[in-house]
Structure formats: structure tokens, C-alpha cells
Amino acid sequence: MRGPLQGPGEKEDQEEGAAAASGRPAGGPEAKKGLDADSDSDQETEGARRPGRLGEDTLYLRFCRAHSVVPASCFLRQGSAPELSLRHRGLGPQGARALARALTSNPYVKRLDLRDNGLCGAGAEALAGALSKTRSICGEMLGPALAENTGLTELSVRWNHLRGPGAIAFARGLEANIFLRVLDISYNGCGDSGASAVGEALKTNNVLEELYMSNNRVSAAGALSLGLGLRVNQTLRILAVSRNPMRSEGCSGVLKSVQANPQSALELLDFSDIQVNREFDDLASSVKVILPGLCIKTAARRVEYKKELLAVFRPSE
């Protein structure tokens, strides 16, 4: 099994979290190299004039100049590649608008990674309009574009402030999408309302195979709502909800929903960094009888167990 678009491993998530807190791009030397390249707009403009460049490069650069936006060199370099990675580029709303202009005439991109770009509502709206027109790629306005998309199979929009109404609309777009197989919406703060909307989407979506929504402020109540979709979904293989404040109660709720679905295709449930109790472990054991191939990840340490051990080894008074 693999993660989405090179995989959201724990080490990478920690690096991104530290980067977000300090206001710098994550990724070490690679990210620094990308930033250095992005600052050199003259080289990018010259590169776009080389023979064989796509027409959208000219359109993109023209928009960037008109709106005082520094072009993203990696976009120009990747050209007609099927995978477009624009992680940690700080695009913002204006940068997203420029990218949207270019994507309207780009029929090649199938996998798009826009994590940690601060798209916000305005940027999401611009991309939504472009993506729904291109019909090759999949905020509040991203939802309709996601629903209409007929080409993109993997999408990462982590670290993009998709919250509240935006998260709900995005999840509703997932209901109607019949092409997307991998979705990463981690680190967006979707909250319980977003988790509930995703749960509803999973009831009807029969294509999505991998869903990553770690660190989204999902409580036990939100986990229970998310679990409603797992009661009927038959295609999802990987669900990662680590680092959410759902506690053992929420984890158990999700697991009970899986237990109630004998047709579940789940192979991995990731509850990393969430403390669970003995009741959860007992439930997990019973679920594995039904789904022997299911891997369940939880926090390495269990507070309740530790307390019990302390009681056993405490010297008698």
C-alpha cells in the first residue's frame, strides 16, 4: 500500500507542522531550491519561450505579470507531465488565480498536489472554475468542480484552510465524483461538520479507495458521523484519521461501523497518536475475525494501561 502522491508519512507530517508553525516552507533543500528558482522570474520567462513549451505557459506568465505574481518555476518545468506537484509554494489566492488560467488549457495533468498553499476562498473559487472547464482535474467553490471532474484520480489539498462551509461543499462534490481514487485533505481543520459531510459522501461514492484526513479537529461526535458512511461503503481501502481529538470513543465508533459492514474493503485504519483503551482493543480483536486482513494503527502507549501497571508495582504502604 502507498500513501497519496508520495505518501503522508509521520515524519513528513511533523516536518510540515513545524514548517507551518515557523512560517517557512517544508521540504529542506528541495524546498529551498524551489524557492530560489521561483524568485528568478526572468529565467522562467526565458524558459517559457523555448520551443516546445505549451501555450498555457505564455498565458500563465502574462497573468503573473499583470497581477504582480511571482511565477512558479516548477509549473513551467513540469509542462505537460501528468503529475503536477506544487507543495509549499505559498501561491495564495492570486497565485491560485494565475494557475487556474493556465490549467484551463492543460489537458495533461491527472495528479495535482497543492498542499500548504493558503488557497483560501478566493483561490479555491478560481481553481474550481478552471478545473470544471478543463474536465481533466479536480473550499466552498471546489465542491462543484470536484463533482464535475472526469479525469483526475489523485488529489492532495492538505494545509489549505478548507473549513466550515468550504469543507462541507468539498465533501458534497465527492459524492458525485466517479473518478477520484485518492484524496488527501489532512491538516485543514475540517472539524465535525466536514467529517459528517465526508461520511455522507462515502455512502454514495463507490470509487474512492484512499482517504487521508489526519489532524482535522474531528472529535468523537464527528468520528461517529464519519462512521455512518463506512457502514455501507464497499470501495475504501485506506482511512487515515490520525491526530484528531476523537479519543477512544470516536475510534471505537468508527470501528463499530466497519464491523457492521461485512462488505467493507478496508485494509488500513490509521488512528496514530490517539490513545485508546482496553475496550477498543477488545473490539479490534473481534473485528479482525470478520476482516482478518485489516491493519489497525493506534498510539504506541496507552495511558489507562500504564496506570494499571503502576498500581500493580506500587510498593505496599
Q: pLDDT tens string for the chain (317 positions)?
A: 455 454 444 455 555 444 443 444 344 333 333 333 333 333 333 333 343 344 455 777 888 888 788 888 877 777 667 787 888 878 887 887 888 777 766 666 777 787 777 766 566 667 766 655 554 443 755 666 566 555 678 888 888 777 888 788 888 888 888 888 999 999 989 999 999 999 999 999 999 999 999 999 999 999 999 999 999 999 999 999 999 999 999 999 999 999 999 999 999 999 999 999 999 999 999 999 999 999 999 985 444 444 444 444 444 44
pLDDT number for residue 95: 83
pLDDT number for residue 212: 97
pLDDT number for residue 122: 66
Could you tell me the three cell numbers for 270? 490509521
* Contacts for 27 with CB less than 8 Å, ≥ 6 apart: 15, 19, 34, 87, 88
Contact of 45 with 251, CB cutoff 8 Å: no
Residue with cell 464519519: 226
CA quadruple 300, 303, 306, 310: dihedral, nearest 10: 160
pLDDT number for residue 306: 45
Contact of 295 with 267, CB cutoff 8 Å: yes
pLDDT number for residue 237: 98
Q: In terms of C-beta density within 10 A (0-12 exposed, 13-18 middle, 19 or more buried), how is residue 14 classed?
A: exposed
Q: Output the 3-class SS for the chain.
A: CCCHHHCCCHHHHHHHHHHHHHCCCCCCHHHHHHHHHHCCHHHHHHHHCCCCCCHHHHHHHHHHHHCCCCCCHHHHHHCCCCEEECCCCCCHHHHHHHHHHHHCCCCCCCEEECCCCCCHHHHHHHHHHHHHHHCCCCCCCHHHHHHHCCCCCEEECCCCCCCHHHHHHHHHHHHHCCCCCEEECCCCCCHHHHHHHHHHHHHHCCCCCEEECCCCCCCHHHHHHHHHHHCCCCCCCEEECCCCCCHHHHHHHHHHHHHCCCCCCCCEEECCCCCCCHHHHHHHHHHHHHCCCCEEECCCCCHHHHHHHHHHHCCCC
